[in-house]
Each structure stands twice: as C-alpha cells, then as structure tokens.
Amino acid sequence: MLTEVTATRYVTPLREGGSLPGIVEADDLGTYVMKFTGAGQGRKSLVAEVICGGLARRLGLRVPDLVAMWLDPVIGLGEPDQEVQQLLKASGGLNLGMDFLPGSLGFDPLAYAVDPLEAGRVVWFDALVGNVDRSWRNPNLLVWHGDLWLIDHGAALIWHHNWPGATTSAVRPYDASDHALAPFGPDLAAASAELKPRLTPEVIAAAVADVPDAWLADEPGFTGPDAVRDSYAAALVARSFGLPERITLGAPTPDRPSQAPGWLTGRLHRTTDGSAR
C-alpha cells in the first residue's frame, strides 16, 4: 500500500498540466506534486497513476515515488486564485502525491540522447499500459541527475473508462510512431526479453493492490474494491501476451517538427558522466 502523509502547505500550482496539479509540502517534510480527486479527470486518473507507477518501478523504470496524501480543504482558504481554491475545496480527503524532483528538466530530444534499449523499455511499458500521452507533443519525461524519469500516467489504462470493453482493449494495437522516443530506434525485442519475465501475475497484483479502496469504491458493475482490482489485473495480464507484435513504429504524422540538424538518434549514447556523445 502507498505510504500516507498529510498536506501541510499548498505552495504553487503547476499550470503545465491540464488537471492543475500543485506543489505541496507534507508532514513528513517532503515536497510533492499533488494530483487531486476533484480535478476534471477524477479519481480514475489517480488509479492509473498508482498502477502504472507501481508497474514501472517493479520493472526497473524510473518513476517518482508516490504517496497517498490527505488534504484538509481549509488549506485553500488563503489561495488567491479562485480556480485553485475551488479545486482544493473539491478535493478534501485522500489525494495522490508524487515526489517532487527539484532541478529536473523537461525532456528535450535535441539535448538528451536515449540509447535504443532504454527507449525500447519505455515504449514497451507504454504499450503495456496503453499510454497515449507520451508523444513528441507532450513527452511527460523528465531528466534528473542525468537520468530519464517517467511521469504523468493518468491517461493510461484507457479500458477502465469502459469495463465491458476491457477484453477488446487488451489486444488492441499500440501505434508508437509519434512516441517521444521513437527517433531513438527503440529495441523492442531486447526490451521485451528483459521485461516480460519480470511482469509476473504477482507483480501485477502487487501494483494493483497499491490503489486505495477509496478510489475503487462504488465502481458500477462491481461488488467492491477487490473485484475492481481483479479486473485491472486480468486486463494487464491479457495485455502482456504477444505485446511486441502489437506495437507499430511507423512513420510519424506529418505535423511532427522537422528533425533539425543535431537531432539525436539511437546511434548516440551517453557516457559514464551522463553527457551525450
């Protein structure tokens, strides 16, 4: 289960995200990016964050630590921005905190080289969870201390918005042509050989078990939180079979920016000190 902390101070909103997450401090003296149950995407986006984050971590990918964060709506009384104040008031109770990575930079393919194996791991993982939000338009990747970190998985696990179609979604192809790491020549075969043996039913069940009951309660068509967890696990197990064969790395869409001189590709690698060459 996620560690539980309590928000003690709202610092500032992060307006880059559509759900208006905010930087907050907590009673464990940590600083977090808080994602709110009262945001437009609702609690299912937080469920996706927890499951995807747990799977990524267990597969050896870098994701910020997650916590369950209690929020007292009174924390927003002094907030001058009415939109933020309304969001805080609507999000009393349990929300999601993501460890804040101070000094991290947004991923820029012109400045940071990714080797084919790492690119393949990320594409393989995104195909597993059906992540549609890691394109060149919005990479949702950070570079911190010279390493690549994955963030923002609220748009993944698309099938949980329509549980009757979950079985069909499990075998749906994944087009990675516009993926942020497509230009780096992702080695999907090597990534699959490494990650598939790690993706056991037990690992999937452990990631799903991290989701708080409060975010799974009252799901239509289910008898309770454990039944919802079972459905998440079953969909992910089904999704894992034959996954590489369903990933397409074709030509990017015409509106993609041109690959200007100096565009880094998988032929470039990072040195031991973290620089590109």
How confident is the model over 101-111, as a mean pLDDT? 92
Q: Hey, how many other C-beta atoms are within 10 angstroms of the C-beta on 40?
A: 10
Cβ-in-10-Å burial (0-12, 13-18, 19+) of 103 comes to exposed
Q: What is the dihedral of CA 94, 104, 184, 243, to 10 degrees?
A: -10
pLDDT of residue 145: 94
pLDDT of residue 266: 37
pLDDT of residue 18: 63
% of the chain at pLDDT higher than 90: 75
What is the per-residue pLDDT across 162-177, written as a single tens digit (0 to 9) for each? 999 888 888 899 999 9
Least confident piece of the model among 9-18, 38-47, 143-152, 170-179: 9-18
* Sign (positive or negative) of CA dihedral 31, 114, 197, 168: positive
- Under the banding of pLDDT at 50, 70 and 90, the label for residue 50 is very high
Residue 5 has pLDDT above 90, yes or no: yes
| Strand-pair partners of 5 | 69
% of the chain at pLDDT higher than 70: 90
Least confident piece of the model among 103-117, 135-149, 173-187, 248-262: 248-262
pLDDT of residue 42: 87
Q: Domain ranges in the chain?
A: 3-99, 105-141+162-248
- Under the banding of pLDDT at 50, 70 and 90, the label for residue 269 is very low
Considering only residues 176 and 277, tell me which one the structure prediction assigns the higher pLDDT. Answer: 176
pLDDT of residue 275: 39
How confident is the model over 43-51, as a mean pLDDT? 97
How confident is the model over 6-17, as a mean pLDDT? 87
Residue 259 has pLDDT above 80, yes or no: no
Residue 126 has pLDDT above 80, yes or no: yes
Average pLDDT, the chain: 89
Spatial contact of 96 and 39, defined as CB atoms under 8 Å apart: no
DSSP codes joined into one string, 67-118: EEEEE-GGGGTT-S-HHHHHHHHTT-EEEEEEE--TT-EE--TTT----HHH
Place of tokens 């994944």: 174
How confident is the model over 169-198, as a mean pLDDT? 94
DSSP label of 276: B
Residue 157 has pLDDT above 90, yes or no: yes
- Under the banding of pLDDT at 50, 70 and 90, the label for residue 273 is very low
